[in-house]
Structure 1
Amino acid sequence: MPNDLDDWFIREVLAVEPALMRYLRHNWRDAGEWADLRQEVYARVYDAARAGLPERAAPFVMATARNLLIDRARKSQVVAIDAYAELDDLATDELTPERHVSGRRELGVLVEALEALPPRCREVVMLRKVDGLSQREVAAEMGIAEDTVEKQIAKGMRSLADALFARGLGAGIARLERKLRKRGT
Protein backbone atom coordinates (compact mmCIF):
# COMPACT_ATOMS: atom_id res chain seq x y z
CA MET A 1 0.00 0.00 0.00
CA PRO A 2 1.32 3.45 -0.86
CA ASN A 3 2.27 5.65 2.07
CA ASP A 4 2.71 9.42 2.35
CA LEU A 5 6.28 9.19 1.03
CA ASP A 6 5.17 7.17 -2.00
CA ASP A 7 2.32 9.59 -2.69
CA TRP A 8 4.70 12.56 -2.43
CA PHE A 9 7.21 10.87 -4.72
CA ILE A 10 4.61 10.09 -7.38
CA ARG A 11 2.98 13.51 -7.19
CA GLU A 12 6.04 15.77 -6.80
CA VAL A 13 9.15 13.95 -7.99
CA LEU A 14 7.86 12.11 -11.04
CA ALA A 15 6.39 15.41 -12.25
CA VAL A 16 9.96 16.74 -12.55
CA GLU A 17 11.07 13.90 -14.87
CA PRO A 18 10.99 15.88 -18.15
CA ALA A 19 13.23 18.60 -16.67
CA LEU A 20 15.46 15.98 -15.08
CA MET A 21 15.93 14.16 -18.38
CA ARG A 22 16.70 17.44 -20.20
CA TYR A 23 19.33 18.17 -17.55
CA LEU A 24 20.88 14.69 -17.84
CA ARG A 25 20.93 14.82 -21.66
CA HIS A 26 22.55 18.25 -21.57
CA ASN A 27 25.19 17.40 -18.97
CA TRP A 28 26.08 13.73 -19.55
CA ARG A 29 27.44 12.55 -22.90
CA ASP A 30 26.72 8.83 -22.66
CA ALA A 31 23.08 8.43 -23.70
CA GLY A 32 23.18 4.79 -22.62
CA GLU A 33 23.55 5.90 -19.00
CA TRP A 34 20.70 8.42 -18.86
CA ALA A 35 18.08 5.95 -17.64
CA ASP A 36 20.45 4.57 -15.00
CA LEU A 37 21.30 8.09 -13.85
CA ARG A 38 17.60 8.94 -13.60
CA GLN A 39 17.01 5.85 -11.46
CA GLU A 40 19.97 6.69 -9.24
CA VAL A 41 18.60 10.21 -8.75
CA TYR A 42 15.22 8.77 -7.83
CA ALA A 43 16.79 6.34 -5.36
CA ARG A 44 18.82 9.12 -3.71
CA VAL A 45 15.81 11.44 -3.52
CA TYR A 46 13.59 8.73 -2.05
CA ASP A 47 16.19 7.70 0.53
CA ALA A 48 16.83 11.31 1.56
CA ALA A 49 13.10 12.06 1.77
CA ARG A 50 12.66 9.28 4.35
CA ALA A 51 14.28 11.62 6.88
CA GLY A 52 11.88 14.40 5.95
CA LEU A 53 10.20 15.73 2.85
CA PRO A 54 11.89 18.76 1.29
CA GLU A 55 9.83 21.93 1.01
CA ARG A 56 10.22 22.04 -2.78
CA ALA A 57 10.74 18.83 -4.73
CA ALA A 58 11.99 20.20 -8.06
CA PRO A 59 15.10 22.03 -6.76
CA PHE A 60 15.85 19.05 -4.51
CA VAL A 61 15.68 16.62 -7.45
CA MET A 62 17.84 18.83 -9.66
CA ALA A 63 20.44 19.36 -6.90
CA THR A 64 20.54 15.61 -6.37
CA ALA A 65 21.10 15.08 -10.11
CA ARG A 66 23.87 17.66 -10.15
CA ASN A 67 25.59 16.01 -7.18
CA LEU A 68 25.30 12.59 -8.80
CA LEU A 69 26.95 13.84 -12.00
CA ILE A 70 29.72 15.45 -9.98
CA ASP A 71 30.26 12.18 -8.09
CA ARG A 72 30.38 10.22 -11.35
CA ALA A 73 32.81 12.69 -12.93
CA ARG A 74 35.11 12.56 -9.90
CA LYS A 75 35.07 8.77 -9.85
CA SER A 76 35.96 8.66 -13.54
CA GLN A 77 39.03 10.80 -12.83
CA VAL A 78 40.38 8.48 -10.12
CA VAL A 79 43.30 6.43 -11.38
CA ALA A 80 44.40 3.26 -9.65
CA ILE A 81 47.91 3.44 -8.20
CA ASP A 82 48.85 0.48 -10.42
CA ALA A 83 48.25 2.68 -13.45
CA TYR A 84 51.20 4.84 -12.45
CA ALA A 85 53.42 1.78 -12.36
CA GLU A 86 52.32 1.04 -15.93
CA LEU A 87 53.59 4.46 -17.02
CA ASP A 88 57.12 3.27 -16.24
CA ASP A 89 56.62 0.53 -18.84
CA LEU A 90 55.81 3.20 -21.43
CA ALA A 91 58.95 5.20 -20.67
CA THR A 92 61.37 2.58 -22.02
CA ASP A 93 62.06 4.61 -25.19
CA GLU A 94 64.68 7.28 -25.06
CA LEU A 95 64.02 10.80 -26.26
CA THR A 96 64.66 10.48 -29.97
CA PRO A 97 64.43 13.27 -32.53
CA GLU A 98 61.19 11.70 -33.79
CA ARG A 99 59.62 11.75 -30.30
CA HIS A 100 60.78 15.33 -29.85
CA VAL A 101 59.11 16.39 -33.14
CA SER A 102 55.98 14.44 -32.24
CA GLY A 103 55.82 16.13 -28.84
CA ARG A 104 56.19 19.56 -30.39
CA ARG A 105 53.39 18.76 -32.86
CA GLU A 106 51.11 17.60 -30.03
CA LEU A 107 51.87 20.74 -28.05
CA GLY A 108 51.01 22.83 -31.11
CA VAL A 109 47.63 21.08 -31.41
CA LEU A 110 46.96 21.74 -27.72
CA VAL A 111 47.84 25.44 -28.10
CA GLU A 112 45.52 25.70 -31.14
CA ALA A 113 42.72 24.02 -29.18
CA LEU A 114 43.25 26.40 -26.25
CA GLU A 115 43.17 29.42 -28.57
CA ALA A 116 39.92 28.16 -30.10
CA LEU A 117 38.14 28.25 -26.73
CA PRO A 118 35.90 31.23 -25.95
CA PRO A 119 37.93 33.91 -24.09
CA ARG A 120 36.37 33.44 -20.63
CA CYS A 121 36.54 29.66 -20.90
CA ARG A 122 40.19 29.84 -22.00
CA GLU A 123 41.05 32.14 -19.08
CA VAL A 124 39.36 29.82 -16.57
CA VAL A 125 41.16 26.77 -17.98
CA MET A 126 44.51 28.55 -17.96
CA LEU A 127 44.13 29.81 -14.40
CA ARG A 128 42.88 26.48 -13.07
CA LYS A 129 44.89 23.92 -15.06
CA VAL A 130 48.05 25.80 -16.04
CA ASP A 131 48.54 28.24 -13.17
CA GLY A 132 47.17 25.73 -10.64
CA LEU A 133 44.74 28.05 -8.88
CA SER A 134 41.90 26.50 -6.89
CA GLN A 135 38.33 26.81 -8.11
CA ARG A 136 37.68 29.38 -5.38
CA GLU A 137 40.79 31.38 -6.34
CA VAL A 138 39.80 31.43 -10.01
CA ALA A 139 36.30 32.61 -9.10
CA ALA A 140 37.70 35.41 -6.93
CA GLU A 141 40.29 36.44 -9.54
CA MET A 142 37.70 36.65 -12.32
CA GLY A 143 34.78 37.91 -10.23
CA ILE A 144 32.53 34.98 -11.16
CA ALA A 145 30.73 32.25 -9.20
CA GLU A 146 32.47 28.97 -8.37
CA ASP A 147 29.70 27.13 -10.24
CA THR A 148 30.60 29.14 -13.34
CA VAL A 149 34.25 28.14 -12.93
CA GLU A 150 33.22 24.49 -12.66
CA LYS A 151 31.04 24.69 -15.77
CA GLN A 152 33.71 26.51 -17.77
CA ILE A 153 36.36 23.95 -16.76
CA ALA A 154 34.09 21.09 -17.84
CA LYS A 155 33.30 22.82 -21.13
CA GLY A 156 36.94 23.69 -21.80
CA MET A 157 38.37 20.28 -20.93
CA ARG A 158 35.73 18.56 -23.04
CA SER A 159 36.61 20.81 -26.00
CA LEU A 160 40.34 20.21 -25.55
CA ALA A 161 39.87 16.45 -25.33
CA ASP A 162 37.66 16.47 -28.43
CA ALA A 163 40.29 18.47 -30.34
CA LEU A 164 43.10 16.12 -29.32
CA PHE A 165 41.14 12.97 -30.12
CA ALA A 166 40.03 14.45 -33.46
CA ARG A 167 43.69 14.78 -34.39
CA GLY A 168 44.42 11.20 -33.27
CA LEU A 169 46.40 12.29 -30.22
CA GLY A 170 44.28 10.31 -27.76
CA ALA A 171 45.40 6.97 -29.19
CA GLY A 172 48.18 6.53 -26.62
CA ILE A 173 45.74 7.11 -23.78
CA ALA A 174 43.25 4.65 -25.28
CA ARG A 175 46.03 2.02 -25.66
CA LEU A 176 47.05 2.46 -22.03
CA GLU A 177 43.43 2.11 -20.88
CA ARG A 178 43.00 -1.10 -22.90
CA LYS A 179 46.25 -2.50 -21.52
CA LEU A 180 45.16 -1.76 -17.96
CA ARG A 181 41.74 -3.36 -18.53
CA LYS A 182 43.38 -6.53 -19.87
CA ARG A 183 45.44 -6.77 -16.69
CA GLY A 184 42.30 -6.37 -14.62
CA THR A 185 43.28 -3.04 -13.12
Structure 2
Amino acid sequence: MAERDRSSLLGLLLDHYEEMTGHLARRLGSLCLAEDVVQDTYLRLRSLTALPDIDNPRSYLYRMADNIALDRMRAETRRGRRFAPAELGLDQPLDEPDAETALEHKQRMERLSGALAELPPRCREVFLLHKFDGLSHADIAARLGISRSMVEKHVMKALAHCRDRLEL
Protein backbone atom coordinates (compact mmCIF):
# COMPACT_ATOMS: atom_id res chain seq x y z
CA MET A 1 0.00 0.00 0.00
CA ALA A 2 1.32 3.41 -0.85
CA GLU A 3 2.00 5.60 2.17
CA ARG A 4 0.37 8.46 0.26
CA ASP A 5 -2.93 6.53 0.19
CA ARG A 6 -2.69 5.88 3.93
CA SER A 7 -1.78 9.51 4.60
CA SER A 8 -4.70 10.79 2.56
CA LEU A 9 -7.09 8.53 4.49
CA LEU A 10 -5.61 9.71 7.79
CA GLY A 11 -5.99 13.31 6.67
CA LEU A 12 -9.58 12.63 5.69
CA LEU A 13 -10.19 11.11 9.12
CA LEU A 14 -8.84 14.25 10.79
CA ASP A 15 -10.90 16.47 8.47
CA HIS A 16 -14.11 14.62 9.38
CA TYR A 17 -13.29 14.01 13.05
CA GLU A 18 -16.17 16.03 14.51
CA GLU A 19 -18.69 14.78 11.96
CA MET A 20 -17.66 11.16 12.50
CA THR A 21 -17.62 11.56 16.29
CA GLY A 22 -21.15 12.99 16.20
CA HIS A 23 -22.36 10.14 13.98
CA LEU A 24 -20.86 7.56 16.33
CA ALA A 25 -22.08 9.36 19.47
CA ARG A 26 -25.64 9.11 18.17
CA ARG A 27 -25.14 5.45 17.38
CA LEU A 28 -23.40 4.55 20.65
CA GLY A 29 -25.20 7.02 22.91
CA SER A 30 -21.90 8.29 24.28
CA LEU A 31 -19.48 10.96 23.13
CA CYS A 32 -16.60 9.36 25.05
CA LEU A 33 -17.19 5.98 23.40
CA ALA A 34 -17.47 7.69 20.02
CA GLU A 35 -14.12 9.40 20.51
CA ASP A 36 -12.59 6.05 21.50
CA VAL A 37 -13.97 4.46 18.34
CA VAL A 38 -12.55 7.22 16.15
CA GLN A 39 -9.16 6.73 17.81
CA ASP A 40 -9.44 2.96 17.28
CA THR A 41 -10.29 3.67 13.63
CA TYR A 42 -7.13 5.73 13.33
CA LEU A 43 -5.05 2.99 14.93
CA ARG A 44 -6.57 0.27 12.78
CA LEU A 45 -5.98 2.32 9.65
CA ARG A 46 -2.34 2.87 10.64
CA SER A 47 -1.87 -0.87 11.19
CA LEU A 48 -3.28 -2.03 7.84
CA THR A 49 -0.65 -3.67 5.68
CA ALA A 50 -2.68 -3.30 2.49
CA LEU A 51 -5.66 -1.21 1.46
CA PRO A 52 -8.31 -2.52 -0.91
CA ASP A 53 -9.30 -0.50 -3.96
CA ILE A 54 -11.40 2.29 -2.48
CA ASP A 55 -13.97 4.08 -4.62
CA ASN A 56 -15.24 6.33 -1.83
CA PRO A 57 -12.62 6.96 0.90
CA ARG A 58 -15.08 8.78 3.21
CA SER A 59 -17.54 5.88 3.08
CA TYR A 60 -14.68 3.46 3.69
CA LEU A 61 -13.70 5.35 6.87
CA TYR A 62 -17.29 5.49 8.12
CA ARG A 63 -17.79 1.77 7.43
CA MET A 64 -14.58 0.97 9.31
CA ALA A 65 -15.66 3.15 12.26
CA ASP A 66 -19.17 1.64 12.27
CA ASN A 67 -17.70 -1.87 12.33
CA ILE A 68 -15.42 -0.94 15.23
CA ALA A 69 -18.40 0.58 17.06
CA LEU A 70 -20.40 -2.59 16.50
CA ASP A 71 -17.51 -4.70 17.82
CA ARG A 72 -17.31 -2.40 20.85
CA MET A 73 -21.05 -2.72 21.57
CA ARG A 74 -20.87 -6.50 21.29
CA ALA A 75 -17.88 -6.64 23.64
CA GLU A 76 -19.64 -4.43 26.18
CA THR A 77 -22.72 -6.66 26.01
CA ARG A 78 -20.59 -9.77 26.55
CA ARG A 79 -18.99 -8.12 29.59
CA GLY A 80 -22.43 -7.44 31.00
CA ARG A 81 -21.98 -3.67 30.98
CA ARG A 82 -25.33 -2.01 31.09
CA PHE A 83 -26.30 1.27 29.57
CA ALA A 84 -28.85 3.53 31.22
CA PRO A 85 -32.35 2.86 29.93
CA ALA A 86 -33.50 5.24 27.20
CA GLU A 87 -36.82 5.80 28.93
CA LEU A 88 -34.97 7.54 31.76
CA GLY A 89 -33.68 10.05 29.26
CA LEU A 90 -30.13 8.90 29.77
CA ASP A 91 -28.45 8.03 26.53
CA GLN A 92 -25.01 7.35 27.89
CA PRO A 93 -23.30 4.64 29.94
CA LEU A 94 -23.87 4.88 33.66
CA ASP A 95 -20.18 5.63 34.29
CA GLU A 96 -20.17 8.55 31.82
CA PRO A 97 -18.84 11.89 33.15
CA ASP A 98 -21.33 14.68 33.76
CA ALA A 99 -22.28 17.04 30.93
CA GLU A 100 -19.92 19.81 32.04
CA THR A 101 -16.92 17.47 32.16
CA ALA A 102 -17.86 15.99 28.78
CA LEU A 103 -18.12 19.48 27.27
CA GLU A 104 -14.74 20.48 28.70
CA HIS A 105 -13.24 17.27 27.30
CA LYS A 106 -14.78 17.93 23.88
CA GLN A 107 -13.49 21.50 23.80
CA ARG A 108 -10.01 20.35 24.81
CA MET A 109 -10.04 17.68 22.08
CA GLU A 110 -11.13 20.30 19.53
CA ARG A 111 -8.24 22.56 20.57
CA LEU A 112 -5.83 19.63 20.33
CA SER A 113 -7.16 18.67 16.90
CA GLY A 114 -6.78 22.28 15.77
CA ALA A 115 -3.26 22.45 17.16
CA LEU A 116 -2.30 19.28 15.31
CA ALA A 117 -3.76 20.66 12.09
CA GLU A 118 -1.58 23.78 12.47
CA LEU A 119 1.64 21.77 12.55
CA PRO A 120 3.73 21.39 9.41
CA PRO A 121 2.92 18.04 7.71
CA ARG A 122 6.23 16.32 8.54
CA CYS A 123 6.15 17.51 12.15
CA ARG A 124 2.56 16.28 12.53
CA GLU A 125 3.43 12.92 10.95
CA VAL A 126 6.39 12.40 13.29
CA PHE A 127 4.31 13.39 16.32
CA LEU A 128 1.44 11.04 15.40
CA LEU A 129 3.82 8.16 14.73
CA HIS A 130 5.39 8.69 18.15
CA LYS A 131 2.33 9.41 20.27
CA PHE A 132 -0.40 7.36 18.56
CA ASP A 133 1.57 4.53 17.00
CA GLY A 134 4.07 4.30 19.85
CA LEU A 135 7.11 4.19 17.57
CA SER A 136 10.51 5.06 19.01
CA HIS A 137 12.51 7.97 17.70
CA ALA A 138 14.92 5.56 16.02
CA ASP A 139 12.07 3.67 14.31
CA ILE A 140 10.52 6.91 13.04
CA ALA A 141 13.88 8.13 11.76
CA ALA A 142 14.42 4.88 9.85
CA ARG A 143 10.88 4.87 8.46
CA LEU A 144 10.96 8.47 7.26
CA GLY A 145 14.61 8.64 6.25
CA ILE A 146 15.49 11.50 8.60
CA SER A 147 17.93 11.75 11.49
CA ARG A 148 16.97 10.78 15.01
CA SER A 149 17.86 14.31 16.07
CA MET A 150 15.33 15.70 13.58
CA VAL A 151 12.68 13.33 14.95
CA GLU A 152 13.37 14.61 18.47
CA LYS A 153 13.11 18.21 17.26
CA HIS A 154 9.79 17.53 15.54
CA VAL A 155 8.38 15.81 18.65
CA MET A 156 9.52 18.62 20.95
CA LYS A 157 8.14 21.27 18.59
CA ALA A 158 4.78 19.48 18.37
CA LEU A 159 4.57 18.97 22.13
CA ALA A 160 5.37 22.64 22.81
CA HIS A 161 2.86 23.79 20.20
CA CYS A 162 0.09 21.55 21.57
CA ARG A 163 0.85 22.56 25.15
CA ASP A 164 0.69 26.25 24.23
CA ARG A 165 -2.58 25.84 22.32
CA LEU A 166 -4.21 23.82 25.13
CA GLU A 167 -3.28 26.42 27.75
CA LEU A 168 -5.24 29.18 26.00
TM-score interval for Structure 1 and Structure 2 normalised by the shorter chain? 0.3 to 0.5
TM-score with structure 2 setting the length: 0.42
Question: Greater helix share, 1 or 2?
Answer: 1
Structure 1 or 2, whichever has the larger Rg, is 1
TM-score with structure 1 setting the length: 0.38
